[in-house]
Amino acid sequence: MLKLSKKADYALVALSHLQATELPASAKEIADRYNLSAQMLANVLKTLTQSGLLASKRGAMGGYALGKRPEHIFLGEVIDAIDGRQSLSDCTSLDKRCSAETNCPAKSPILMIHKKIKQFIDSLTLADIANREILKGVSIDIPFSS
Amino acid sequence: MLKLSKKADYALVALSHLQATELPASAKEIADRYNLSAQMLANVLKTLTQSGLLASKRGAMGGYALGKRPEHIFLGEVIDAIDGRQSLSDCTSLDKRCSAETNCPAKSPILMIHKKIKQFIDSLTLADIANREILKGVSIDIPFSS
DNA sequence: TTCATATCGTACCAAATTGGTACTGATTGT
DNA sequence: ACAATCAGTACCAATTTGGTACGATATGAA
Ligand code: FES
Ligand code: FES
């Protein structure tokens, strides 16, 4: 649980790279650079483009560039685009529902915890991620304790 | 991604129940009460017992009770016990490693984000989870923004 | 003692997800 | 024309997850 898919990993590598170099790059270039499966990365980048996170140019000398400014690319968006929006638990998504349903004592807490985590990853931008120094300073305050 | 397994769900339901009633209960009782697969829940409770989160008593009139005080049962423990300790990404676990390795621009940020989330779930206890009112008041402050 | 109730240990299988590949078509610069 | 490169889609293998089965062991009660 709490695991990023490899595709999401690839997406972050590519986005970080594009953010750092500020130059367009082809899927192959990036794959070679970081020793990733070219075909798989190509699929990932294609998906990111469909979601508007990347801008693409076809043909010779084509490639990918960031589709928005790094400050406007949120980690949550990236994960949603690649893995599809998912809930922390099936019972916190509206369509599916677990058998316990109404009288379940865990449902509401799980939902709240899910919201907190989502809030967190939605608050992180590519710019934040790329800037390690800033990230180091982040602290999550949990103002209650048992 | 970021998904709790159904078994972890079951574990939380059972733990919440035991915390709320303050009475021992058999696997079957709990399964019936919340309409869960009895066999599966039994397996889950067994695992929780092995991890010391529950205390069991065998035979007729046997059953399960909390193995520690609710304030000492951490969400992180529960998840680790059921799903096995996992990392947000394979590259943040020491044994496995992704092909990008050393020159990967995403590795360090992913590791940090992983730590934050882990910190969060490790800070939540069964007592917190059971007490919705307290949980509602929780706010995660992220003191930087883009 | 016998029996019903429970946990314990373990093994197993089916369904879903994820990791990874292949191939064809459409664009575009040289 | 041609090579480079993205777009679309289909496919399969590996892994993980969901879910079941069953024999062994312990315990309380009739
Ligand atoms: S509603 Fe799904 S675990 Fe409670
Ligand atoms: S080291 Fe694994 S994604 Fe970078």
- Provide the CATH number for the domain around residue B103: 1.10.10.10
Distance from chain centroid for Cα B92: 20
On whether residue B32 sits in a domain, the answer given is yes
Q: What is the band of B107 on the pLDDT scale with cuts at 50, 70, 90?
A: confident
User: Residue B97 is which amino acid?
Assistant: R
Does residue A142 fall inside a structural domain? no
Within-domain flag for B144: no
Total-model pTM? 0.85
pLDDT at A87: 61
pLDDT tier at B94, thresholds 50, 70, 90:
very low
- Lowest mean per-residue pLDDT among A37-46, A52-61, A103-112, B131-140: B131-140
3 state DSSP class of A113: helix
> Residue B43 CB closer than 7 angstroms to strand C?
yes
Measured distance CA(B53)–CA(B15) in Å, rounded: 9
| pLDDT for residue A17 | 95
Q: Tell me the average pLDDT across B121-125.
A: 91
Give A27 CA → C20 C1' in Å: 16
| Nearest-angstrom CA–CA distance, B98 and A12 | 13
Please report, in angstroms and rounded to a whole number, the separation of the first and last CA atoms in chain A.
25
Q: Is residue B109 part of a domain?
A: yes
Would the pLDDT of A93 be above 70? no
User: Which-ligand-closest: CA of B97?
Assistant: 2
For residue A84, the model assigns a pLDDT of 83
Q: In this predicted structure, what is the pLDDT of residue B141? A: 43
Residue A142's pLDDT is 42
DSSP A63-103: EEEESS-GGG-BHHHHHHHHH----SSGGGSSSS--TTGGG
Are the beta carbons of A138 and B140 separated by less than 8 Å? no
pLDDT for B143 equals 32
Q: Does A134 touch chain B (CB under 8 A)?
A: yes
Angle CA(B63)–CA(B68)–CA(B72) in degrees, nearest 5? 145
| B26: amino acid identity, one letter | S
Q: Is residue A57 within 8 Å of residue A24, measured between CB atoms?
A: yes
Residue A138: the pLDDT is: 52
Q: Count other Cβ atoms within 10 Å, centred on residue B93.
A: 15
Asked whether residue A135 carries a pLDDT value surpassing 60, the answer given is no
Instruction: Give the pLDDT confidence score for residue B145 in this predicted structure.
Output: 30
> Is A97 part of any domain?
yes
Q: What's chain A's average pLDDT?
A: 83
Structural domain containing residue A77: 6-136
Answer whether B129 touches A (CB < 8 Å): yes
Q: Give a yes or no: residue A1 inside a domain.
A: no
CB nearest B106 (choices: A2, A13, A103): A13
What is the predicted pLDDT for the residue at A95?
A: 45
Residue B142 domain-assigned (yes or no): no
Which is more confidently placed, B113 or B31?
A: B31
Does residue A145 sit within a domain? Answer: no
- B74: helix, coil or strand? strand
**Model pLDDT, residue A58:** 96
Separation between Cα atoms, residue B110 and residue B107, nearest integer Å = 5
Across the range B95-108, mean pLDDT stands at 66
> What's the number of domains chain A is made of?
1
Q: What average pLDDT score do residues A115-142 get? A: 72
Instruction: Give residues 114-143 of chain A lying near strand D (Cβ < 7 A).
Output: none
- Spacing of C-alpha A62 from chain mean position: 24
What is the per-residue pLDDT across B2-25, written as a single tens digit (0 to 9) for each?
688 899 999 999 999 999 999 999
